[in-house]
Structure 1
Amino acid sequence: MFSFGRNCLKFRTSYFRRNVSNENLSFCQKSFDLSALSDPFGDNSPKMHAFYQTRKVVPFLFQINASQTQFHVLFTPFSFNSHYSTRAPSRSYRRRARKRLLKSCKPALDQAQFQLAISQLPPRFAPEELCNVIASQVNPLVCLELFHWASQQPRFRHDVSTFHVTIKKLGAAKMYQEMDDIVNQLLAVPSIGSEVLFNTIIYYFTEARKLTRAVNVFKHMKSRRNLNCCFRPSIKTYNILFAALLGRGNNSYINHVYMETIRCLFRQMVNDGVKPDIFSLNSMIKGYVLSLHVNDALRIFHQMGVVYDCQPNSLTYDYLIHGLCAQGRTNNAKELCYEMKSKGFIPNSKSYNSLINSLAIGGDIEEAVNYLWEMTDKQRSADFITYRTVLDEICRRGTNQEAMGFLKELQEKDLVDGHAYRKLLYVLEDDYGNSVN
């Protein structure tokens, strides 16, 4: 049989060559179907075909002429002993797969409901009548089809009511792509629009995290030259944008870049003569605290009653207490907490936890424990980190028995359940050994 020697093949840019007497090696790359290719090694096992299908190998077919004998050898860039990939799919791949799945599972239009909705309209219907029929529909696809069908009718023009009800139906159903098409039709007509309609559009765009589209609609509202026009942005418009830029829950989008955008938006609101309310001012304070600009947050706090004629509420103090404790300014946080309680407000759990942790880390264990008991009396719950921080600081003093007594007191007052008690006990044993016993 024909055998290859060492270094018999030398790779060139487009071919393989071997200059040996009585032997001629030529390369021939062909395009072929893997399913139609017979096994060149005489092994038609399904494992080999599964390897090609999963790895998506594009093999190269070499034709070897040796002593007037021709046979084919299949070369692949992978080893035949390769295992299947166990790597998890990437996030972008999962996102694309989910979009394809949602597009394939898109519901079809119910023709019976659509025809029934059309039968409820008179021959020459007005926009108010179409608005009532669309509002009575449950299926958003029927609402969308009714809107498009009415656009094709002679002597009919959509007004604010029909655009508004259709956009609300599509936004509530999270059909944002279809809603975007309706919005483009709306923006193409300069004479149609209202503050409530544009606020609804901005709200649903921010729900879909399409902030660029929301800002474009906001700019469309500000482009109106007539100051008395009903299209001008109001305080509700700015509050929707503030809430969108600050994010929701644990998915906070706030950072230095977003905070600069919020600052410019707030300055533009004041310059346009729109008076900020408590939500706008709290949004600014929250943004400054999350972006670690606590001094700017305090500046807004001191200007609330003097400049903006708006008194702070409990959320205002909670944001500031948390921000001051995060920077280690415990004394200022205690002063704000005292001022807050003197006005009849009760700090929330986050403010109490931040204050207790800051006091405990600063070495003021007695005051931290006093705030902890006050917190429980006010029906506020402490988290596991707060209990652990207090226990660690007590043990660092060298009084491990005091820490165990404090832990048992927490259990007796039903402040920690059995699972939390065991976790705290294990933490003390791991950190300080058997001395806690």
Structure 2
Amino acid sequence: MAIEIVKQRRVWFSSCSENLVTEVVSILSQERSKSRWSKVRWACPNGMSPVEFSEITLKLKNKPQLALGFFLWTKSNSLCLHNLASYSSIIHLLARHRQTSHAYNLIRTAIRVSDLPNSPFNSPPLNLFQTLLHTYTRFGSAPFVFDLLIKASLDSQMIHPSIQIVRMLLSRRISPKVSTLNSLISRVCTTLGVDAGYAFYREFFRLDQEQNQISKRGSRLIVTPNVHTYNALMLCCYQDGLKERVEELWHEMRSTCKPNAYSYSVLMAAFCAQGRIGDAQKLWEEMREEEMEPDVVSYNTIIGGFCKIGDLTRAEEFFREMAVAGVGTTASTYEHLVKGYCNVGDVDSAVLVYKDMSRRDLRPDASILDMLARLLCGKGRVQEALEFVRCAVGKFDLIPKEKTYQVLIKGLCFEGRMEEAMKVQAEMVGKGFEPNSEIYDAFIDGYVRLGNEEMAGALRKEMLQNRMRS
């Protein structure tokens, strides 16, 4: 008797639930926007369950904007206590209709509110993945819904769940987009190291299985790496100082896909870093033979390579060619040239290049200030160095390096301009740099040169006291 009562209650609940779903769908589909919400509220005085919301969403599968508006309205009016199942229903609907940004935003929200106490996964992205996977077919979703989930996980700094999601997708013969895999590999390289990134690259693209010619079902290559895959790996290797690995990846890439201008730039940068400017030039010529137009990165790379070895003539030639080709210069272009001229001691050319850079409102790095200030002071042009630094600080709001302040103070003290040196020292302290023994020595030597032994003695005493405190 008790069992029969329970069955009757279930039938009654199912009937009530179905009636509610039908009525709400009818209101949403037929009523005007101004009146539909009040009627839905009247039809659901006690709200609705996540299951009921999902059923309503399913019946609105061809009306994504209406379904999204309904979801947002239930949230803002606390009409439904949404869980991962109801989130998944609206996410699938939006993905089905290529409403990418809305689907992505809801995935990020769902990750934050994920709570499945009985889930085998102790991870919000994996909880959501499991729910999306189970409801995928019923809602006629699109495969890139999982790409959006991986992207949202990466944006939330959840790298390991992203890796697990990719592995579970591949095991089900569902392949993420190559761009998604590229993003994940790049993130792994920067956070877990290049070796880990390279290992995942081979795993995700099934490269070892292909090379071993495993023929059993499910082992063939699903998606192939593209030029951006190799560019990401090459860049990470270059940034980690693994210059030889860059060349290895280059040859691996050539057997799979055609390099682009950025690929050439990364390998040229690796060659330049090893002092192999001849190989970099050959690569440049090869790029031109392939009728590939160099971009700003390519020009900056080759210019930087010639500047590094002190061949400013060739660097200037590429700089002029860059202008003729209509490729816009960047701050890096000028910084290469300034550093190159500083390294060969040509301060006048370095200053001219910097002035051109400043006229174009290209913000220099603080290291440029330091190099020019040192070179000018070394040539006895302390006033020019002081004006140069103050002008750069005023225009670009730069914070000079501690060494920049030190070289200015030393130069001013050597010339006996103690009051100006004190002003620079005060500015230095204001930027958070405490005077060290080099600064004290510069002031002491300056006062000795002026015959002010009293001030020099006071500074010696102050320096000794500071050393004792530290």
Deviation for aligned residue 1:220: 0.8
Partner residue in 2 for 1:331 = 313
- 2:209 equivalent to 1:220: no
Question: Which residue matches 2:147?
Answer: 164
Q: Secondary structure at the match of 1:347?
A: coil
Alpha-carbon distance, 1:281 to partner = 1.8
Q: Write the letter of the residue equivalent to 1:368.
A: A
Do structure 1's residue 188 and structure 2's residue 171 form an aligned pair? yes
2:62 matched residue in structure 1? none
Cα shift at 1:364: 2.6
Residue 146 of structure 1, CA deviation? 4.8
Query: Counterpart of 2:355 in structure 1: which amino acid?
Result: W
More helix by share: 2
Write the letter of the residue equivalent to 2:336.
S
| 1:176 aligned onto 2:159 | yes
Indicate which of 361, 364, 367 corresponds to 1:379. Answer: 361
| Equivalent position of 2:184 in the other structure | 204
Query: Which secondary structure state, in structure 2, belongs to the residue aligned with residue 231 of structure 1?
Result: coil
Q: What residue number does 1:404 align with?
A: 383
Residue range with higher mean Cα deviation, 387-396 or 258-267: 387-396
Structure-2 residue corresponding to 1:427: 407
Kindly indicate whether the alpha-carbon contact (under 8 Å) linking 1:404 and 1:436 is maintained by their aligned counterparts in 2.
no
Does residue 282 of the first structure (1) align with residue 265 of the second (2)?
yes
Q: Is the 8 A contact 2:126 2:165 kept in 1?
A: no
Output the CA distance in 2 between the equivalents of 1:320 and 1:267.
Answer: 21
- 1:10-409 to 2 correspondence within 5 Å? 112-117=82-87, 136-137=106-107, 138-140=109-111, 141=114, 144-149=126-131, 160-161=143-144, 163-189=146-172, 191-193=173-175, 197-209=177-189, 210-220=196-206, 223=209, 231-246=223-238, 252-253=239-240, 255=241, 258-272=242-256, 274-306=257-289, 308-397=290-379, 400=380, 402-405=381-384, 407-408=386-387
Deviation at 1:320, TM superposition (A): 2.0
Give deviations 1:243-299, integer Å, cap 9, x for gaps: 4434xxxxx31x2xx333222222222223x22222222222233334443332222
Tell me by how many angstroms 1:160 deviates. 4.1
Deviations 1:134-160 (A, max 9, x none): 764421247643542566789989984
In the alignment, the residues of structure 2 paired with residue 311 and residue 369 of structure 1 have an alpha-carbon distance, to the nearest angstrom, of 31
Measure the CA separation in 1 of the matches of 2:386 and 2:329: 24
Bigger shift: residues 281-290 or 216-225: 216-225
Contact 1:429–1:436 (CA<8 Å) still a contact in 2?
A: no
The unaligned stretches of length 5 or more in structure 1 are 1-109, 247-251
Aligned twin of 1:79: none
- Which structure is higher in strand share? 1
Q: Secondary structure at the match of 2:224?
A: coil
Which consecutive unaligned segments of at least 5 residues does structure 2 have?
Answer: 1-79, 116-124, 190-195, 418-470
TM-score by length of 2: 0.53
Q: Which deviates the most, 291-300 or 154-163?
A: 154-163
- For the residues of structure 1 that align with 2:169 and 2:402, how far apart are their CA atoms? 62
The one-letter amino acid paired with 1:114 is L
Deviation at 1:384, TM superposition (A): 4.5
Separation (CA, whole Å) in 2 of partners of 1:162 and 1:330 = 52
| Larger CA Rg, structure 1 vs 2 | 1
* Cα 1:383/1:202, change in 2 over 3 Å: closer
Q: Quote the offset at 1:419 in angstroms.
A: 7.6
Matched residues in 1 for 2:145 and 2:252: separation?
A: 32
Q: Which residue of 2 aligns with 1:106?
A: none
Deviation at 1:312, TM superposition (A): 0.8
Determine if contact 1:411/1:417 at 8 Å carries over to the other structure.
no
The one-letter amino acid of 2:201's match is: V
SS state at 1:139 partner: helix
Match of 1:208, SS? helix
CA distance in structure 1 between the aligned counterparts of 2:358 and 2:130, rounded to whole angstroms? 59
Offset of residue 379 of structure 1: 1.9
* C-alpha distance 378-159 of structure 1, shift in aligned 2 (>3 A): closer
Identity of aligned residues (%): 18
Letter matched to residue 225 of structure 2: P
Number of the residue aligned with 2:437: none
- The count of corresponding residues between Structure 1 and Structure 2 is 307
> d(CA) in 2 for partners of 1:219 and 1:352?
40
**Which residue does the alignment assign to 2:459?**
none
Are the structure 2 counterparts of residues 290 and 111 from structure 1 closer, same or farther at C-alpha, using a change threshold of 3 Å? farther
| Residues in 2 aligned to 1:352 and 1:120: alpha-carbon distance in whole angstroms | 51
